[in-house]
Amino acid sequence: MTVIKFPNTPANQMSDTAKLAHEMEKEKQAAEIFLNWRLNQDDWETYYPSERDLELVAMFGEVMRLIPIVSIRLNSKLAEFICKLKTQYEPMEKKHD
């Protein structure tokens, strides 16, 4: 059994798994800060999530610390993204006259 001393272990003594976990945590925190800032702006509707933002929300959304209005607006942006994907990949239904 491997015991990981985290975060007191110097970086050069961390296992590769611990280094990766540390980097992912830093990236998640940066995304939290950015999303809390960007989706709390008056022009939040003009923001389009990057692919990496979407990946991080998919991986860590459940534990991200987002303020309530940001969570609501993020849900709106995710729904918008899904609708755009749907129209791109599904043929439009033909209208019957």
**Length of the chain, please?**
97
What are 60-93's pLDDT values in tens digits? 999 999 999 999 999 999 999 999 888 887 765 5
What are 3-61's pLDDT values in tens digits? 555 566 676 777 888 889 889 999 999 999 999 999 999 999 999 999 999 999 999 99
Tell me the C-alpha distance between 57 and 52, whole Å: 9
Q: Which of 38, 60, 65 is nearest to 49 (CA)?
A: 38
Provide the whole-model pTM: 0.74
